[in-house]
Amino acid sequence: ADEIGFVAQSKYLSQLAHTRAAAVILPLDAEDATPLPRILVAHPYLYFAQVGNLLNPRVRPTSGVHPTAVISGSAQIAADAHIEAGAVIGEGVVIGARTVIGVNSVIGARTRLGDDCLLYAHVTLYHDCVVGNRVILHSNSVIGADGFGFAPDGARWEKIPQLGRVLIGDDVEIGAGTTVD
């Protein structure tokens, strides 16, 4: 009775008869679907997401570097970035404004992270990766590891050098435990 719900597709409007929600978000053409307090919008699913984000804003930690973080002297870290315990930041790394590097994350040499990024705990970025702005990398994701390339040489396999790098654009979210080689 103290929550808000939504119906994004007309085929689910009949379920409103059973809801105990205090109010609902509905499509524009569902004005008469329920006597409940309602908000009528063109895109209920999107509106619900926006309400959820408004009522549950992401809490940003204060800027600073935890004393147990290991940071190369050649790294460039924005003054308002936040580096948590046990993080390792390699040579020539660039970390943008308001970016958060989680506990025990590892950022390889010459990697660049944009502004407003969030790396949760135990994220690994190999060398030379480029990460755009407003990127979220969830725990235990690994970005930039070698792909698997091997050429047969009789009884053995010769590793093919993986010479590329990973480029991640703006506004990307990568789930926990994901690898991008």
Per-residue pLDDT 10s for the chain (181 aa) are 898 999 998 899 999 999 999 999 999 999 999 999 999 999 999 999 999 999 898 888 999 999 999 999 999 999 999 999 999 999 999 999 999 999 999 999 999 999 999 999 999 999 999 999 999 999 999 999 988 889 999 999 999 988 889 999 999 999 999 999 9
Q: What pLDDT does 148 receive? A: 83
Q: What pLDDT does 59 receive? A: 85
Rg (CA), the chain: 23
Q: What pLDDT does 164 receive? A: 84
Q: How far is CA 134 from CA 13, 41, 114, in A?
A: 36, 27, 7
Q: What pLDDT does 139 receive? A: 98
Q: What pLDDT does 80 receive? A: 97
Q: How do 94-95 and 64-65 pair as beta strands?
A: unpaired
Q: What pLDDT does 100 receive? A: 98
pTM of the model: 0.85
